[in-house]
Amino acid sequence: MNPRIKEAIPTNDYKLKLMFTNGEEGTYDCTPLLSFGVFQELQDPHYFQQVAVLDGTVTWPNEQDICPDTLYIESQKDKTGYIR
């Protein structure tokens, strides 16, 4: 099982800075999702900023979420440290 999300910080360019439960850090680019079904609502910058961590993954107020395995596998792992 892949690690889960411990913390998520949204950026202004539709990316998520992620900290995983195993201590790794990475960035996940959400832009490919923005034109897809329920994720279209994330195009609103104010709404995108409302991301939260719930049960080890990221979620938004209207119940959009991304599989934590996808977030881990597809994120670009940071080598220089987590940006807070």
Contact 4, 57 (CB under 8 A): yes
Could you tell me the CA-to-CA distances from 32 to 7, 65, 68, 84 in Å, in that order? Answer: 21, 14, 17, 24
27 close to 75: Cβ distance less than 8 angstroms: yes
Enumerate the domain spans of the chain. Answer: 5-77
Name the pairing type of β-strands 25-29 and 76-77: antiparallel
Quick: pLDDT tens for 46-74.
999 999 999 999 999 999 999 999 999 99
Q: Which CATH number fits domain 5-77: 3.30.70.20, 2.40.50.140, 3.30.2020.10, 3.40.50.620?
A: 3.30.2020.10
Q: What is the pLDDT of residues 7-38, one digit of tens each?
A: 999 999 999 999 999 999 999 999 999 999 99
Tokens of 62: 């209207």
pTM for the whole thing? 0.90
